[in-house]
Amino acid sequence: MVFLAALAVLLVSGVIEPQQAFSGLANPGVLTVAVLYVVVAGIRETGGIQWISQRLLGKPRSLLAAQQRVTIPVAGFSAFLNNTPVVAMLIPAISDWARKNNLSESKLLLPLSYAAMLGGTCTLIGTSTNLVVNGALEKRLGEGLMLFEIALVGVPVLIVGLLFMFITGHWLLPDRRPAVETLDNPREYTVEMLVEPSGPLVGRTIEAAGLRNLPGCYLMEIERSRDILPAVSPREKLQANDRLVFVGVVDSVVELQKIRGLKPATEQVFKLDGKRSDRSLVEAVVAETSPVANLTVRDGRFRTRYNAVVIAVARNGERVSGKIGDITLRPGDTLLLEAGEDFIERQRNSRDFLLVRSIEGSVTPRHERAWLALTILGGMLVTVGLGWLSMLEGALAAGAMLIITRCLSVNSARQAIDWSVILTIAAAFGIGAAMDTTGLAQTIAGSLLQLAGDGPWLNLMIIYFVTALFTAVITNNAAAVLMVPIAASVADDLGVSLIPFAVAIMLAASASFATPMGYQTNLMVYGPGGYHFTDYLRAGLPLNIVTAAVALAIIPWAWGFN
């Protein structure tokens, strides 16, 4: 809202033209981020996210170990792949992994973004900013930097940056958890799940299957044949057709529905019309006038009447145990249902229920298409990494393939895009255009450079500082494009090489940690991590200072001013 309001003022006052104000909406980088949301949705809805989190992230023993498992591989990937899709792919995987391991997402997602940015400083192809600056360098000097030449400064910056995050992350990063985790007396359900005979959980222990430390949920007992196993050991191995009885809040029930190899114990679910992947979980409160009130679920013929199946029942916020079909429904009971997309529309104004609400993100994954979705994702990364397609073209092709192969529905693709992030990035381009058009950016840069005198190193420091400042306000690529001609003018006046200044611009524009709009990945983790603007200042500003000190110490030594 702040960015759009500023853009509106600049537009109405005539500072910029409409095409300048909204040029960000046609920018390939902005469009790429939007399409990547669709690609990630396809991976998530097929269960590919769970596969990634289990195979790549494993079981951390501490918060520091978790941060290391996230940041070190991501930094490596980002040196050779565009870091935006890397972060887009991992955000939901890390969120899912954090919940299962009782870790705060806010302690992991900002380090994810920072590590991707630091890794991108190690090669020319690590970020689009490096390519933009190197292209300008080639245009002015006739030659640019080699692919790995920037690693001379990028690798030390990466190492120092990661070490700084590991040492200070415990108290500089916020610890924010979903509201449901902080409730003293949350509404609980009892849910029964069956271990599929042909599924991947057979023969695995409770702990190895990821069923031990589910947040807001615990495994109460296992019913095996006619035996009841209470107080289940984490080393207990699962067998085919085990009936697992869980007690937990609704968010945990959603997670249970997504675990491959588990299915609801009630066979009624498989008698509903349509595919399970087209249904979701719904909460509904029974009204006094409901025809199923004071009848058991079975006698009320709930599935036949509503084309929905009762998964669990809560009464006065407490779980109601027993076989679902034998539970007598009372007015005020909260029912957890599995129902089709049309259930809410049909029952929204019905007198049968006092309240009906859909549980967000509760669509059952299409596990049988997970391999296909991951193959499409891998194909996108390879074709983009080899330069066969641009990032936008690769993302568009992957998104189209996910929809064509029915890994993702058109409706889910439309809902996947986070428009608040897209509009913020687009508005930043408009504000950057205003700073450029009015000469404000050049005035600021010129005023600061006058303070540097004739010293090359001091001018280098000022250019690094100004680039970082502009990046924090008007995004990285816009800042880089703005600063290259200014740096060239300074280098000509001093009679020194332009290369150190160009490298400084690459580092300053690619490693902007202090604001959410300084880099696309910062904005992408803003919502999922539950961050505030001040969180970026507290964690990112010290990191900016540390990485700047390392870069400014190495750049003159590695390239020299002559």
CATH assignment at residue 287: 3.30.70.1450
pTM of this structure: 0.67
Structure tokens at 508: 């300053």
Residue ending a domain, among 315, 334, 358, is 358
Q: CA nearest 30: which of 384, 476, 413, 426?
A: 426
Question: Is residue 502 situated within a structural domain?
Answer: yes
The amino acid that residue 177 corresponds to is R
Residues 105 and 214 in one domain: no
Domain interval for residue 263: 183-358
Are residues 111 and 239 located together in one domain of the fold? no
154 and 281 together in one domain: no
Rounded to an integer, what is the distance from CA 489 to the centroid of its chain? 40
Domain membership of residue 460 (yes or no) is: yes
Q: Is residue 408 part of a domain?
A: no
- Closest to 337 in 3D by CA, of 253, 262, 411, 409: 253
Please check whether residue 394 is in contact with residue 384, taking contact to mean a CB–CB distance below 8 angstroms.
yes
Neighbouring CB atoms inside 10 A of 61's CB total 8
Structure tokens at 486: 């200014």
368 within domain boundaries: no
194 and 129 co-located in one domain: no
360 phi/psi in degrees, rounded to 5: -65, 140
- Spell out the per-residue pLDDT of the chain, length 562, in tens: 887 888 899 889 988 888 888 877 887 767 877 887 788 788 777 877 666 666 667 777 888 988 998 899 888 888 876 677 778 778 877 887 887 777 888 999 999 999 999 998 888 767 778 877 887 788 777 777 887 888 999 999 999 999 999 999 888 998 876 544 444 556 777 788 888 888 888 888 888 777 776 767 778 788 887 778 877 788 888 888 888 888 877 777 777 777 778 877 766 555 556 666 667 788 889 999 899 999 988 888 888 888 888 888 888 867 777 778 888 899 988 888 888 777 888 887 888 898 888 877 666 667 778 888 888 888 887 887 677 887 778 889 999 999 998 888 888 888 878 787 778 777 877 877 787 778 776 777 677 777 767 788 888 998 999 899 888 877 777 778 778 888 888 888 788 888 999 999 999 998 889 888 778 788 888 878 888 889 999 999 999 999 999 999 999 999 888 7
The b/e string for 270-295 (b: 16+ C-beta within 10 A; e otherwise) is eebeeebbebbbbbbbbbeebebbee
173 with 227, same domain? no
Instruction: Decide if 406 is inside a domain.
Output: no
Are the beta carbons of 408 and 398 closer than 8 angstroms?
no
Asked if the structure places residue 49 within a domain, the reply is yes
| Nearest alpha carbon to residue 67 among 113, 112, 118 | 112
What per-residue string of b and e applies to 344-360 under the rule 16 or more CB within 10 Å gives b? eeebeeeebbbebeebe
> Among 322, 342, 358, which residue terminates a domain?
358
> What total of structural domains would you count in the chain?
2
Residues 346 and 219 in one domain: yes
Q: Give the domain-ending residue among 358, 388, 406.
A: 358
Report the 10 Å Cβ neighbour count for 257.
22
